[in-house]
Amino acid sequence: MACSDEKHDRLSNLSDDLICHILSFLSTKECYRTCFLSTRWESICTKIPNLHFQLPEISDPELSKEIKFVNVALLRRTENIRKLRLDGEKGCQPHDVHMWVSKALDLKVQELDLGLLLHEKTLLPLRLSTCESLVVLKLQGRIQPTLNSAFHVYLPSLKILHLRETVRYSMVDDGKEYDLNNFLSGCPHLEELLLHETFALPINTSFHLLKRLFLCLYMPTSVIKCCPLQINVPSLEVLSMVDFSLKPRKYDFTNLSTLDEAALCICKRPVFNNLYTLLKGLSNVKTLALGSKTFHFLSMEDKLDNLHLLTFHNLLYLTVEISENCNWNMLVSFLQNAPKLKDLAVMRKIEINSRRKEVGNSSWVEPLVTPACLATTLITFEFKGIQNIKTDLDFTRYIVSHSSKLLKVKIFTPTAKKRRVEKSLRMGLKKSSLLVWDINSIEDHLDFTKISMTTTRPS
């Protein structure tokens, strides 16, 4: 009995702060389940800084109970909160979200993450646009801040802003056109911005402190003209841009001298000078990833001589996604213009049920001048999705044979083709001992909508 009392006393003797810290490793629902232990623990649960609620679908019989739980845990709370996260699919109503966010603002919330997929457009409280405590704001779907230019926006503490599909469904707010620039200009200390599947809204603004910019642009119709993208980013370090629009768009990024990492995937052929200017702005990066469409557009140009003038003096890591008819000379041009390249990754995007044509500019011709990086700096080469075709094999043999510093070659191929590819590739290859084989799915490709780039790629 004494031993039992002693154990009970040990738990009781823990400070409220320590118990609160322990509970922070549990989900919000699990935390509140500990309330039956004592009235003291019930009080402690109201002090947990981070609240995360996962709401079921609208057809779930537990929905009303879950909404009631959110109301109890959030609306009755008096202690300030650090983070409120709400996830779920079409399980609650706009007035619920409006009420919960309003309460979070009362409690000086610092991080607001709303991943709710709702049936109706939900406008957040107007006072969110002038919240002084908000550091992180992540919105998804039909949940929108006020984008009406008639309203003042000032978020002095906001450093991270993610808007996923929030301006995709409509272009008007209370009868007035959305003004995304007005909202963005009210975030002077922004360091990370993600715009995912935004509509045709024009963007023309400056971010003097922005370090990370992730853009997934979308225009599902070719009728409406895509508005230009004009951004001044003198402190930018990471840029990832995907454009699925059906019409070409003008890109105007200024002050990219601090850029360290970039990923680029443009799915509609742009004006060459526009694309060339964009690439020129990326010439200082250490890490570069190019999607198959972008690489294909570059390969189609008559002005390839201009690209030869581009030099990526600092480029260390290059990832290129190639399509069925890759212009290998274009890829060699990149190697020749990257004298410090250490790591080259080629990923073949396989188009299911497509016919492969090894004609025209898709053929491999060994260059007259060996790229300097092969002789001096390249240490890792990776080919994902390699096929048992002459161009793939010839290019791989060329890289391996001419890279004097090469330490590792990783070859990824579908299981069914591994034996044939391995046999073909080892023929006449003196450095075959460097080859490391792995298996990859035929669907594997670069997903630029989820790409997370680091300056040191895994070996």
Q: What is the pLDDT of residue 289?
A: 94
Q: Is the pLDDT of residue 356 over 50?
A: no
Query: Distance between CA atoms of 385 and 349, rounded to whole angstroms?
Result: 7
Q: Which of 120-134, 175-189, 269-283 has the lowest mean pLDDT?
A: 269-283
pLDDT at residue 450 in the model: 54
High-pLDDT (> 90) share of the chain, %: 35
pLDDT attached to residue 251 = 81
Is residue 373 predicted with pLDDT exceeding 60? yes
CA angle 19, 25, 26 (to 5 degrees): 95
- Secondary structure of residue 256 in the 3-state scheme: coil
| Cβ neighbours around 56 below 10 Å, total | 18
Comparison of pLDDT for 307 and 390, the residue scoring more: 390
Instruction: Report pTM.
Output: 0.86
What does the pLDDT average to over 374-390?
A: 91
Closest to 244 in 3D by CA, of 195, 183, 180: 195
pLDDT digits (tens, 9 = 90+) for 71-83: 989 998 999 999 9
Q: What integer is the mean pLDDT of 260-284?
A: 81
Residue 459's pLDDT is 35
Which of 116-120, 189-193, 297-301, 312-316 is the least confident region? 297-301
**Nearest by Cα to 341 from 376, 382, 310:** 376
pLDDT value, residue 437: 67
Q: What percent of the chain has pLDDT over 70?
A: 79
419 sits in which H/E element = helix 418-426
- Using one digit for the tens of pLDDT, what is the confidence trace for 314-352? 999 999 998 877 788 888 888 999 999 999 999 987 655
Over the stretch 142-190, which tens digit does the pLDDT of each residue have? 888 888 778 899 999 999 999 988 766 455 444 456 778 889 999 999 9
Task: Provide the CA 173 distance to its chain's centre, in angstroms.
Answer: 27
Give the best-scoring range by mean pLDDT among 189-193, 403-407, 430-434.
189-193
Model confidence band, residue 455 (pLDDT cutoffs 50, 70, 90): very low
Q: What is the 3-state secondary structure (H, E, C) of 273-309?
A: HHHHHHHHHCCCCCEEEECHHHHHHHHHCCCHHHHHC
CB within 8 Å of 226: residues ≥ 6 apart: 200, 217, 219, 245, 247, 248, 249
pLDDT at 309: 66
3-class SS of residue 257: coil
Of 389, 326, 406, 322, nearest in space to 362 by CA: 326
Would you give the end-to-end CA distance of the chain in angstroms? 57
What pLDDT, on a 0 to 100 scale, did the predictor assign at position 399? 92
Residue-wise DSSP of 93-152:
-HHHHHHHHHHHHHTT-SEEEEEEE-SS-EEPPGGGGG-SS--EEEEETTEE---BTTS-
**Over residues 246-275, mean pLDDT:** 81
Task: Please determine, for residue 114, whether its predicted confidence score (pLDDT) is greater than 90.
Answer: yes
Measured distance CA(257)–CA(432) in Å, rounded? 40
Element (H, E) at 16: helix 16-23
Determine which of 115-124, 188-197, 218-227 has the lowest per-residue pLDDT on average: 218-227
Q: Residues 84-91: what's their mean pLDDT?
A: 86
Rounded to whole angstroms, the Cα distance separating 206 from 230 reads: 9
The per-residue pLDDT for 329 is 81
- Considering only residues 422 and 453, tell me which one the structure prediction assigns the higher pLDDT: 422
pLDDT at 376 over 90: yes
Q: Hey, is 335 helix, strand or coil? A: helix
Pairing of strands 176-177, 172-173: antiparallel
18: helix, strand or coil: helix
- Selection from 126, 249, 263 nearest residue 199 by Cα: 249
Q: Is 107 or 333 the better-scoring residue by pLDDT?
A: 107
Average pLDDT score over the chain: 81
Look at residue 453 in the predicted model and tell me its pLDDT.
Answer: 38
Residue 305 CB burial class (10 angstroms; 0-12, 13-18, ≥19): exposed
> Looking at residue 328, what is its pLDDT?
86
Q: Domain extents for the chain?
A: 18-48, 285-350+361-459
The pLDDT value recorded for residue 457 is 40
